[in-house]
Amino acid sequence: MSGIGGKVVAITGAGSGIGEATALLLAERGAKVVLGARRPERLEALAARIETAGGDAAWARTDVTRREDLSGLVKLARDRYGKLDVLVSNAGIGLISRLDDLRVEDWEEMIDVNLKGVLYGLAAALPVFREQGFGHFVNTVSTAGLRIVPLQSVYAGTKNAVRTISEGLRQEAGDSLRVTVVSPGAVRTDFAERMDPAVKDRIDKMMEIALSPDAVARAIAFAIEQPDGVDVGDIVVRATAQG
């Protein structure tokens, strides 16, 4: 079996940005998408858009800091479609700041969303994948973890933790599960909305050269569409103008 048609793909952070673009692209290519995000009105509208275009979508309000929400998203996939082929752990936040600012609550929130949210997804999906004998984890990380710069140390730390866990999972997975990490560079999303205004101004300037979320969605689709037995482990996708 290869390609995307007929696969059941659950996506966290599906309400906007990369998650939304990924859901639209995969649904267009024949996947049944199971959408998770914190804003139900976004999910309802996205599911309606997919279904109007002839696709198939289900959704559930999903806060990745709540383990039961990830379990519920996986259960929805199985109840509705009988299986889960792929879990795209895409939800993430980037509350970047100087360490001297001691924004400890922001650090904790990034750990809860960016790291623990992925682990909760792994805990929900891994037993299902083992039972089925197939499955694919796709984890969105960041080029921030490849080139460490000021202001992003905690954010990059959470993303590199996911990178490390993903590699360990790949080595433990055996020959029936696949694990992919996708590292986007700057992407035109609402990523900077909750940042300190001075930091947000710097990030907004980067948006002039940033990728469309569609570019990252295509990278995710590339990993998913490979034939069984082909594991695309690591994809870096960034604008050619990004240093």
Residue 155 is among the residues annotated as catalytic for this protein: yes
* CA-closest candidate to residue 87, choices 70, 102, 99: 70
Is residue 83 within 8 A of residue 6, CB to CB? The reply is: no
**Backbone dihedral angles phi then psi of residue 140, each to the nearest 5 degrees:** -85, 120
Cβ neighbourhood burial of 75 (10 Å; 0-12, 13-18, 19+)? middle
The strand pairing partners of 36, in sequence order, are 12, 60
Report the distance separating Cα 30 and Cα 241, nearest Å: 33
Report the distance separating Cα 47 and Cα 123, nearest Å: 26
CB 125: neighbour CB atoms within 10 A? 24
Report the distance separating Cα 117 and Cα 137, nearest Å: 13
Q: Please give the distance of CA 226 from its chain centroid, rounded to a whole number.
A: 18
| Assigned token pair, 198 | 């001075």
User: Of the residues 59, 107, 137, 155, which is catalytic?
Assistant: 155
Active site members: 155
